[in-house]
Structure 1
Amino acid sequence: MASRRFDATLEEARACRHCAAHLPLGPRPVVRMRPSARLLIVGQAPGTKVHESGLPWNDRSGDVLRGWLEMDRDTFYDTTCIAIMPMGFCYPGRDAKGGDNPPRPECAPLWHPRLRPLLPKIRLTLLVGQYAQMHYLNTRRQKTMTETVRHFRDYLPDGFFPLPHPSWRNMAWQKRNPWFTTDVLPELRRAVRACFTTDAG
């Protein structure tokens, strides 16, 4: 029964057309998961390359994220271990400055409460970028994304690890904040390894 419910809900999410009128390239929900996953990655929304391929984090940002995790592609895309569920499942288009629009605001409230309970073995959730942090941490966030990431230990007891978005736009941020490389990344890698080396029950 649980397996059928999972498959039906995931199929429904992948067929979602709720925001179709607002999506310049049309709907193509990108979400990957299996009930056995222990790590959940919550990002922002697909870019154009991901929209074309249907494979999340299949771009330069994904390369950076996998570098942060010290994880190869085969492991990263193993849905039995890792679930990937962005705040917006579809490419939201570009803003006037040429950057991607925010995730559609309808998506996470519609799908996260339905899909997240179907992942009972999740040990750690990576909140990649401000939109994921706003949704899951709410008023527990610090005043800035930088301070939220700096205080990552405050959220670990609840199974959350906040991260900046690994886009090329944020590489200057990483250079300005060397503590991210020296202090945060080793703890991130340790926490991710623990997901797969500790009995999840």
Structure 2
Amino acid sequence: MNSLQEEIEACQICAEKFRATHTAHEPRPVVWFNSGARLLIAGQAPGARVHASGRPFTDPSGDRLREWLGIDETIFYDRTRVSIVPMAFCFPGYNERKADLPPPRICGKTWHDRVMQTLGEVPLTVMVGGHAQKFHMGAQGSVTNTVQRWRDYAPRVFPLPHPSWRNTAWLKKNPWFEAELLPVLRARVQEVLND
């Protein structure tokens, strides 16, 4: 597995594409997985802060996600317990309006199958955001529709909206998420991590 992690960390497939973005940055794959982990967080792509830190979810989105999961940073960053696999390992950059660019598809096509094979059977997967749900689950329609159907996927998979603070209005419009889904998710996280 170390060789796969090293291969991903050295990846330069998108170098030219990233240099052409508004951010004109170099690739910096953020690799955070380990076989035997009990919880898989399947996300979209690192943001600018994660690109700078080299550690996944080191931003307000990460604070919110950890709150949703009911775990602290010590557990969250324990690779023997939690693997974090985005569909793209690098920050894709911003466009001219400083909006996040979508995760490059080539990253998922290049690495996804090998990473998932390395991880093996993971008891719980949390799908974070619409891009990840479409990529990993083949989800159709809106994030709201996918997340509303969470009972269809539980207890092995929980689709979540992106924990970005931009989604605060979504959370207010959908109080069932915090009232119904999160307590079940937190209980399941404890179950798999303490098994």
Task: Place the TM-score, normalised by the shorter chain, in its bin.
Answer: over 0.9
Q: Does the aligned pair in 2 maintain the 1:174–1:180 contact within 8 Å? A: yes
* Structure 1: distance between partners of 2:151 and 2:97: 35
* Structure 1: distance between partners of 2:42 and 2:95: 22
| Residue identity opposite 2:145 in structure 1 | E
What's the counterpart of residue 57 of structure 1? 57
What's the counterpart of residue 192 of structure 1? 189
* Structure 1: distance between partners of 2:86 and 2:40: 10
Superposition CA RMSD, Å: 1.3
Secondary structure, counterpart of 1:106 in structure 2: helix
| Residue identity opposite 1:21 in structure 2 | E
* Structure 2: distance between partners of 1:182 and 1:142: 24
What is the aligned-residue identity percentage?
Answer: 47
Q: How far apart are 1:190 and its partner, in Å?
A: 1.5
* Structure 2: distance between partners of 1:115 and 1:151: 27
Q: Does the aligned pair in 2 maintain the 1:37–1:121 contact within 8 Å? A: no
Q: Map residues 69-148 of structure 1 onto 2, 5 A cutoff.
A: 69-138=69-138, 141-148=139-146
Q: How far apart are 1:194 and its partner, in Å?
A: 1.9
| Residue identity opposite 1:16 in structure 2 | C
Match of 2:170 among 169, 173, 186: 173
Gaps of 5+ in 2: 19-23
| Residue identity opposite 2:168 in structure 1 | M
Q: How far apart are 1:170 and its partner, in Å?
A: 0.6
* Structure 1: distance between partners of 2:28 and 2:91: 8
* Structure 2: distance between partners of 1:69 and 1:129: 15
What's the counterpart of residue 182 of structure 1? 179
Runs in 1 of length 4+ with deviation above 2 angstroms?
A: 95-98
Q: How far apart are 1:142 and its partner, in Å?
A: 4.8
Gaps of 5+ in 1: 1-5
What's the counterpart of residue 21 of structure 2? none
1:21 correspondence with 2:30: no
Q: Does the aligned pair in 1 maintain the 2:50–2:59 contact within 8 Å? A: yes
* Structure 2: distance between partners of 1:164 and 1:186: 16
Instruction: Count residues in correspondence.
Output: 190
